Every structure is written in C-alpha cells, then in structure tokens.
Amino acid sequence: MSVTSLKSAPGLPAQGVADCADTVQIMLARLRRERESAARDYAARLDGWDGPFEIAPETLAAAHRQLDAELVEAIGYAHANIRAFAEAQRASVTEFETELRPGLVAGQRLIPVGCAGAYVPGGRYAHVASALMTVTTARAAGVPEVVACTPPGRDGPHPAVLHALHVAGADRVLVLGGVQGIAAMALGLFGLPEADILVGPGNAFVAEAKRQLFGPVGIDMVAGPTDSLVIADASASAETVAADLAGQAEHGATSPVWLVTDHRPLAEAVLRRVPQLIDALPEPNRSAAREAWAALGEVMLADSREEMAATADRYAPEHLHVQAADLDWWRARLCAYGSLFLGAETTVAFGDKAAGPNHVLPTSGAARHTGGLSVHKFLKTVTWQRVAPHALPDLARATATISRAEGMEGHARTADMRLAPRAQRLAE
C-alpha cells in the first residue's frame, strides 16, 4: 500500500502561536479588572468602533429592511433546515429511568445550560450562516437565554448577520469582536448574563480566548482554520472536484484543501484546473485561495478505495466530500470527519450555509475525537438515584466493603448506618 503525493504542501511560515496566547492572556486579565472600559478601549483600538455596543431589539427586528428579499428568503430557508435538523437531534436523545435492581432506581436528565453565548465572526466575510448555526441550535436544545457577539466590520454590524441572529432567536446582541466579545459573554459585561457556554467559530484570538476561559465556562471546541478533503474515483468529474477545492480554498491562506484519488488522469486534470479556477475568483478571495493552495493544498494518489479511506481517516478533515461510486460503502467505512458530504450532487458549501447539519465542526484533526456543534453541547447529561428500603442491605454492604478496601472508613460508616432500622437511625 502506498499513497503518492502529486502535490505536497510546503506549509506556511511559522505563526506566532505563543504571541497570540500571551496577547489574549494580557487582554483577558485587563478585561477582568477594568471590564466595560477595557472592552470599549479594545473595540476602539482593534476595530475602530466606539459604540453603540448593544443592538436594540427593534433594530434587530428591522434589519431585514436593509436586505434584498431574496437574501431574507434564503436566510429563512437555511434557518428552517438548521432548526429541523437540530430538533431531530434533540429528539434523538432522551431522559430515562431504570430499575437496576429491585428498589434501586436511577435515571438520566437532560438539562439545558442557562445561558449560551454565541460568537459570530466578522472580519473578511459576513458570517450569516454562523449566526444561524449557533443560535438556532442553542434554541433547539432548549437554552432559555441566548446572547451573541459579533465584530463591527467596516461600517458597523452587517444587517444580514443581525437579521440572521434575529431569525435564529438571539435575546441580546452586542457589537463586539475578538477577545473583548468573548470576554463580554463570559464575564457578563454591558449587562449581559454570564454565559455558561461559549460557542462559535472565530480567528486565532477568539479560539485562544475561549480556550483560556474554559473551565468554569464551557466551550464547543477549540476551532482552527477550516479544512476540506475530497475523495474522488474514476467516476468523478475533474471539473467539479477542482471547483470544489478552489471554492473552499477561499476561506483563507491557512485553510487546507486536499484531494485523494485512485485515478491518475483525474488527479492531473485537477492539478491543472484548480489554479485556473482560483485565478478567476474576485479579489481578495483570489489571493487567499492562491496562498492556501500553494502552501497547504495536497493531491494524493492511492492504490485502492480502502487506501483512500485510510488516508481520509488519518487526515480527519473537518469536511469530507466523497465523489465516488458506492456511497453506502463509504458512509459505513469512513470514521473520522466533522461532516460527510456524499455524492457529487452535494457540496461543502451546502453544509456551510444552508443544508441543515451544523457547520461549526472540528478542525486540524480534532475529528479524531469529536463531532461538531450539536444540541448535545448545550445539554447537561446529569444523573440521579433513589433507593427503596428493600434494596438497602445489598447496596450498603457492597458500598461499605469497597469503602473499607479503599481505606475510606468514613464512607463505610455512612453506608453501615443505612442498614440500621429507620426508627433506630432517627432516635440516634
């Protein structure tokens, strides 16, 4: 078995990961100390924004008036799919109660967190879809209070993002980006409730701020730059595969796109075509995609479909797109990806924007150990137990015996005393 590299990835110059962590640590310390005044200062210095910071509910509700009817309709379409998927996911997990032994009853409850904070990235693109993916899913999980932060962009917050947040059901929205936005939700700045969990994608500063705050506050994941892998066999169209790779490369210079194929003519055609398709993109997307393809794009030639599958499992991509025969075989075989796209009719962009399954997904190989954002992240799976008198003897004896074997006499005594008749216990 061997996989031949037809285009390897020289990589990007080393990034200042340590610098980013230091910057975030300093910023969070100051935000904890000086709260709103630090947030205002960072917003002014980093984003040129001096408020207003909270979007009034009337403004959110009226944001659609600044949008084309077609965009409003598309947002409604995407929201309906995302909500339907999240609701099906919610219905797939249940509370239960089970009698483990006669009289020994235990159960599981699913309790939504009290408040979720959604970060909706700004920067180069207006991430309408991220607003829908995070807030809609929290709502479907039953979270009673959902707040959101989004950076201002050049001319203030993007009306399409505000409309998406409104449709998805955000209760409060702040125009605040990066570390100061994340901190506002975690620390309850500007009168926000303190979020129990922080979710949503963002740049390295956003991811690092979530990582550093994690502990008392939950996070969905530490997300890096987005990535995509295409598996294509001889049945695939080189033009479609090349377009899909070029399209996803526009995410930016740090976002890899990979192709694994067992068909050399397809690999060679894609290698010729991707740069042409990238050249045809408008700027600044063209430069971003060019850089991503040059530094991180890979084309690999495998001997068999099993080898293609093994390669995909090793890369554990965020998005995995199969353009090959026998899709059922692939769906059963593949086991490391954030979201799977089956067939040439679908495309990663469908999942990114509108199909329904969540687009906040594990990146940088994290799909080895986790899936993406789901209603589960907003639900606490907690347990309870209850013991009837006739179940006590066996349970108390087993507990006392294990406790003494562990050297925990105090535990053993709390078990022993449950064996004494109730009247005697109450009298003592």
Binding site for ligand NAD (CB under 6 A): 23, 46-47, 121-124, 127, 130, 151, 177-179, 201-203, 205-206, 223, 225-226, 251-252, 359-361, 363
Q: 171 or 352: whose CB is closer to Zn ion?
A: 352
Can you tell me whether residue 375 is helix, strand or coil?
helix
DSSP 213-271: HBTTBEES----S--EEEEE-TTS-HHHHHHHHHHHHTT-TT--EEEEES-HHHHHHHH
Residue of 64, 79, 166, 319 with catalytic role: 319
Binder of Zn ion out of 47, 171, 227, 352 (CB under 5 A):
352
Residue of 163, 318, 321, 359 with catalytic role: 318
Q: 124 or 411: whose CB is closer to ligand NAD?
A: 124
Per partner kind, with CB cut-offs from 5 to 8 A, the member of Zn ion, ligand NAD, none near residue 46 is ligand NAD
Question: In this structure, are residues 243 and 62 in contact, taking their beta carbons and an 8 Å threshold?
Answer: no
User: Whole-number minimum distance, CB 362 to ligand NAD, in Å?
Assistant: 9
Per partner kind, with CB cut-offs from 5 to 8 A, the member of Zn ion, ligand NAD, none near residue 124 is ligand NAD
Is 208 an active-site residue? no
Measured in residues, the chain has a length of: 428
Q: Would strands 104-112 and 96-101 be described as parallel, antiparallel, or unpaired?
A: antiparallel
Q: Is 318 in the site for Zn ion (CB under 5 A)?
A: no
CA pair distance 276, 270, nearest whole angstrom: 10
**How many of the chain's residues bind Zn ion (CB under 5 A)?**
1
Radius of gyration for the chain, computed over Cα atoms and rounded to the nearest angstrom: 26
Question: In this structure, are residues 159 and 67 in contact, taking their beta carbons and an 8 Å threshold?
Answer: yes
Closest CB to Zn ion belongs to which residue? 352
Question: In this structure, are residues 159 and 71 in contact, taking their beta carbons and an 8 Å threshold?
Answer: no
Is 359 an active-site residue? no
Residue 251 assigned to a binding site? yes
User: Whole-number minimum distance, CB 422 to ligand NAD, in Å?
Assistant: 57
User: Whole-number minimum distance, CB 338 to Zn ion, in Å?
Assistant: 11
Alpha carbon separation from 13 to 1, 6, 222, 296, 400 (Å, rounded): 32, 22, 22, 11, 60
Tally the C-alpha atoms within 13 A of residue 315's C-alpha that lie toward its C-beta. 27
User: Whole-number minimum distance, CB 46 to ligand NAD, in Å?
Assistant: 4
Structure token pair of residue 57: 């509910």
Residue 226 assigned to a binding site? yes
Active site residues: 318-319
Annotated binding site: 119, 180, 203, 226, 248, 251, 319, 352, 406, 411
Residues tagged in the binding site annotation for Zn(2+): 248, 251, 352, 411
Q: Detail the residues annotated as belonging to a binding site for NAD(+).
A: 119, 180, 203
